[in-house]
Amino acid sequence: MEKTVISLGGSIFGESLDSYLKSITSVLKKYENYAIVVGGGPIARERINFLRQLGASEYHLDKMGIQATRLNALTVSLALGNSMAIPTNIDDAIDLLNSYGKVVMGGTEPGHTTDAVSLLLAEAWGASRVLNITNVDSLYDRDPNLKGAKKIERISYPDLMDLLTREERKAGSNFPMDILSINIAMRSGIDIMILSYKDERNVKNALEGKKFSGTIVSKA
């Protein structure tokens, strides 16, 4: 497997841990080297929504979400049989990759989603691609819950940026990327593959550089 950073959506923790997470970790255990960034998922959203109602600042809500990502990262790491600490910044993650060839981490600092962290890790490590493994099977030209939504198999960074910033698309509406992530990918030419964790064979194909079902975001 070529150098690849995996951005594992926290939404996987909203599913049965005995199915999708177990399936994904069984696939990843077969590789000696991997870099995984794990999202916050339901636990982050629930705590953030609760604390927002109590008047907590967005900065501190971000910090709450980061703690949730690290808890999820520790869960994934232990499921993979690791005993390494969960790094809290990119430099420490690179040290672990250089020493052990593998790392699992969550968020780093307020204002950065774990998708952005995965792109920054890819930059620092020299990885050419990021696999965004989430609960949607690809990008769509509109909210996939809307009638007539069409899958996008390949899209350029600028076109994806335009799609993301369309006025009718509300923030967080089933869109597995953010503007900061796209900017990082664009400046370093890192390909992003978006696919679902619900198809184990498809995930294997993507990891091994084979044809897969999903979306490829790249220069062209």
DSSP notation for 106-124: ---STT--HHHHHHHHHHH
**Burial category of 206 from C-beta neighbours within 10 Å (exposed 0-12, middle 13-18, buried 19 and up):** buried
Euclidean distance between the first and final Cα of the chain, in Å? 23
Pick 156 or 178 by higher pLDDT. Answer: 156
Q: Reply yes or no on whether the pLDDT at 205 is more than 90.
A: yes
**Strand runs (DSSP E) across the chain, as ranges?**
4-8, 34-38, 102-105, 129-134, 139-140, 151-152, 154-156, 191-196, 215-218
Whole-angstrom CA distances from 93 to 12, 84, 113, 114 are 22, 11, 16, 14
Q: Reply yes or no on whether the pLDDT at 173 is more than 60.
A: no
What ranges do the domains of the chain cover? 4-218
Provide the whole-model pTM: 0.92
pLDDT in tens, 12-50: 998 766 689 999 999 999 998 999 999 999 999 999 999
Fold for 4-218, please state it: Carbamate kinase (3.40.1160)
- Rounded CA gap, 131 and 160, in Å? 16
Predicted local distance difference test score (pLDDT) of residue 168 = 47
pLDDT in tens, 69-115: 999 999 999 999 998 899 999 999 999 999 999 999 999 999 899 99
Predicted local distance difference test score (pLDDT) of residue 143 = 78
